[in-house]
Structure 1
Amino acid sequence: MAIGTYPAWFLMQESRALLTRLARVKPFALVEPMVPAANLLPAAQSAIEGHLIAGRRELRRLVHGFMGWLDSGAAQRASAAEAQRRFAYLRLKFNAVLTQFDLFSDVVTQRSESESGVWLSGLDVLSADALALRGRYYRAPPVICYLDRGPGAAIRRARTRLPGGGTSPVAVIRVPRERMIGSGIASSLVHEVGHQAAALLGLVDSLRPVLRGLQQGAGDGAVAWGLYERWISEIVADFWSVARIGVAAPTGLMAVVSLPRAFVFRINVDDPHPVPWLRVKLSCAMGDALYPHPQWARLAAMWEAFYPTRGLDAESLRLLDRLQALMPAFVSVLVQHRPAALRGRTLAQVLDVAERRPARLSALFRLWTRVPALMYRAPPSLVFAVIGQARCDGRLSPEDESLLLGKLLTHWALASTLDTTQACAAAQGRSFTVTEGEPS
């Protein structure tokens, strides 16, 4: 049955209504009020706006194409059901565009919050620094942060699929609001940055064959090696955190997994996260392998005192014993691993772990206490490593730590904004000079 005049008219009106509502979806730069220091970094702002503009442009093209089809002879020969099927597809695309807008809107809207918005901008700077590697091993995507409830962080990695299609132009990290602000926030944040770095370097894919090989002929240890392989994605992210911020990584991790005993010892082979009790021990073992120091054993012993293994069932004890027995060998695999993406270098080498040795971090804190200006010029991830070490050494109180980090996050946010403004002004000046034909 042909579509008929009234159904065609009705669908044409609905298509025009879609275009009308789509026109009300404005760029964030026009609708989100915030102080300049809370702005997203230009690369992130540009990537998000560009992605959403492209989505809206494609949807307009599809709607106009459908409206043109309704006016064509082909539509008159089609059924009303066929026309409705095509329109329903457009509505799904329209809702996908709005879903992606709302996804980023939740992130951007927080930038208008007093104080927190500026601190989030500072965390963007920390994330970028934690992801950066000297040596051009990858092109780091923009990273933006936002706050949410709950004890743990999470990441939507750049270049992963978005709801409704397309890939995310930026990495979006959800930071637990309850950690604002102390050095522990860096543990959560840099762990999520580690997930993005691992994806860019293909670390999980390069480590899994190694771990599978170690399962062969391992006897009773095969199950333990299998679990390490199962957990490797989260462990690599923990490794990145330890390498970037030192002792702040395991102490921050303790705050996240300090749960009732039943949860700390829960072994779920389907969970990509290591059992929490073992995960803290593993973080300390990685720290000791990267920068040997008595503090790692002291932290591990304290964790065992918080959660003694006595009272566990025999099967769980045996499994934990096997995992701990293989832990030195497993950590050695991580430290010595040379993925193809690193062109023959190890993770420890490209992450410059020598700069995070506890003795050096303590010395920097003493120096910065005398000359605070030096702290504001240092890389943000190094600053968090130093502050985390000072907290662990008992040289910095939680109250002073929070005040100091608030100042630092504000400084990084403001500095990045001013640097960007200056660069834009310089670029505009060069462009104007050339246009006017004057000496550049």
Structure 2
Amino acid sequence: MRRAADTRFLVNEALGLFSRLQTVRSFALGMPMVLAAAVSAPAQAAINAHLARVAFDLRRRLLDFVGWVRSPDSQSLTAEKAQARFVLLKLRFNNLLDQVDIFADVFSQRGEHVTGVFIAGLDALAEDALALPGHYYEPPPLICFVERGHGAAIRRARTRLPGGDDNPVGVIQIPRERMVGSGIASSLIHEVGHQGSELLNLTTTLRAEIDQRVAQGGPRQVGWQLYSRWLNEILSDFWAVGHLGISATYGLMSVVSLPSYFVFRIGTDGPHPFPWIRVQISLALGERLHPHPQWAALAEQWQLLYPTTGLAADKQQLIGLLLGLLPDFAQLVCNHTSPALRGQRLADIMPAAERQPARLQALFGQWQAQPALREQVAPSLAFAVVGQAKADGRITAPQEYQLLTSLLTRWALNRARTYGLPAPMPALARPLLSTNGTHFHSLIPSTHEPRTNN
């Protein structure tokens, strides 16, 4: 039999959580931002609906717990077991706050002057890179935020959030130090590639093909094993090269330009290729998708920046093995087919035809004569054109900055016109009510058991 003090403690703790649940409200009610900086209406609706569902499920469970603790049915349990029930609710509450913080990182930055609008423009770029023609999948909403450092990351849609709930949107972290240049697209679309590859189940189906080579044994087995282990990251680089052309590889080179020790630090148990070979893989995939002498020239430049001479013999041997396999591997990736691809080659679902170097160069020439044309192309194509022009030496870095910031602002404005501000989700827009229709605060001094709906 529990003491009255034990019951009071548990009731007060549960009602305390209930009270703090009122801080979980629609982001549309609390985040200051200009309209052009807002995330898309589908993304806001998905996030608000998700948080409302989690918050009100927890609300119901808390009220059920308070009613149970005050009822005769609970008196047969010890205080220890009653506390164990409450602790599970507290953990669920903390999971909800963790989820709120994930999305708050995105929304809070939208209030930053200028930067918020640029991030909204990058949302448009991300969604464009995920929306493949042909309707191979239903793309989820994507939202971006910036973080310090030079790395990018994604919390994919439909993966687990803290507490085990499905993430309703893809959340992409991009490096602030790359704002704004063509290199930001390389990092961003690489992360989009993680989402796209998962939606198409590419890692599983392509790895099955590679593992057939592994099973053949022989001196090349180790090389195929490494390509299989690194496949998830390689497919994301493939996605970036497929959409951006050579600017994707330039962006990758910028990310992995580190002291030589790290560039040649060969780890065989992680998901990332070591930086030197990762650039070589990007070059090989780019040459396969967008044939042009520029790829050989860039490969030569990479060799001059990070020569392999002087490396230990075992490293040189492994690099030689991987380079020898690279043409076959690139062909295998580009020619891959699976049920999700509906008989198409993987290379065919990329927008490679309009991203050929000659096509990008011609578009840039047209833009010079008619600047308004640059606002009529898809965001990923615009970044590909600008990146190619920079690679060709036709624009400088300051000119690139001016052009891209103008385009990002235009895309943000276009999205604002398309979506407008969504209406607040009703479930998160009003104070939490008890199930008998009274405000929560009336429950605190009550000596009656709250009525709940099952």
5 Å-filtered alignment, 1:54-93, equals 54-93=53-92
Instruction: Report the secondary structure of 2:220's partner residue.
Output: helix
Q: In the aligned structure 2, how far is the partner of 1:284 from the partner of 1:200? A: 25
Does the residue aligned with 1:341 lie in a helix, a strand or coil? helix
Alignment of 1:112-123 (within 5 A): 112-123=111-122
Shift of 1:74: 1.3
Distance between the aligned counterparts of 2:24 and 2:333, measured in 1? 47
> How many Å separate the matches in 2 of 1:56 and 1:327?
50
Q: Answer yes or no: is 1:405 the counterpart of 2:404.
A: yes
Higher helix share: 1
Show the 5 A alignment for 1:26-425: 26-421=25-420
Deviations 1:277-304 (A, max 9, x none): 0111111111111111000000010000
Distance of 1:76 and 1:420 partners within structure 2:
54
1:92/1:422 Cα in 2 relative to 1: closer, same or farther (>3 Å)? closer
**Does the 8 Å contact 1:3/1:83 carry over to 2?**
no
Tell me how far 1:318 sits from its aligned partner. 0.4
Unaligned runs of 5+ in 1: 425-440
What are the ranges of 5 or more consecutive residues in structure 2 without an aligned counterpart? 424-454
CA shift for structure 1 position 423: 11
Q: What CA deviation, in whole Å up to 9, does each residue of 1:282-333 have, x standing for no partner?
A: 1111111111100000001000000000111010100000000000000000
Q: Retained in 1: the 8 A contact 2:124–2:411?
A: yes
Higher relative contact order (CA 8 A, sep 6+): 2
Read off the aligned partner of 2:20 and give its amino acid letter.
R
**Aligned residue runs from structure 1 range 422-437, under 5 A:** none
| Structure 1 residue 68, shift from structure 2 partner | 1.2
Conserved? CA contact 2:45–2:422, under 8 Å = no
C-alpha contact 1:4 1:76 (8 A) present in aligned 2: no
Partner of 2:447: none
- Could you say what secondary structure the match of 1:146 adopts? strand
The 3-state SS of whatever aligns with 2:47 is: helix
2:224 maps to a residue whose letter is: W
Distance across 2 between alignment mates of 1:24 and 1:175: 28
Shift of 1:24: 2.1
Q: Partners in 1 of 2:88 and 2:418 — Cα distance?
A: 45
* SS of equivalent residue, structure 1 residue 168: coil
CA–CA distance in 1 between the matches of 2:254 and 2:151? 10
**SS class of match (2:420):** helix
Are 2:109 and 2:116, in contact at CA under 8 Å, matched by a contact in 1?
Answer: yes
TM-score (normalizing by structure 1): 0.95
| TM-score, scaled to structure 2 | 0.92
Q: What SS does the corresponding residue of 1:147 show, helix, strand or coil?
A: strand
| In structure 2, distance between residues paired with 1:227 and 1:421 | 47
Alignment-mate amino acid for residue 372 of structure 2: A
Shift of 1:422: 10
Amino acid at match of 1:376: E
Segments of 4+ in structure 1 off by > 6 A?
none
Secondary structure, aligned partner of 1:174: strand
Distance 2:12 2:55 in 1: 19
Question: In the superposition, relative to structure 1, how do residues 384 and 318 fare at CA in structure 2: closer, same or farther (>3 Å)?
Answer: same
Alpha-carbon shift at residue 25 of structure 1 (Å): 2.0
Calculate percent identity across the aligned residue pairs.
Answer: 50
Q: Residue 41 of structure 2 contacts residue 420 of structure 2 at CA under 8 Å; is this kept in 1?
A: no
Contact 2:41–2:421 (8 Å) recurs in 1 = no
Deviation of the 1:251 alpha carbon? 0.2
Q: RMSD in angstroms over aligned alpha carbons?
A: 1.2
Aligned 8 A contact 1:238 1:283 in 2: yes
Paired residue type of 2:135: R
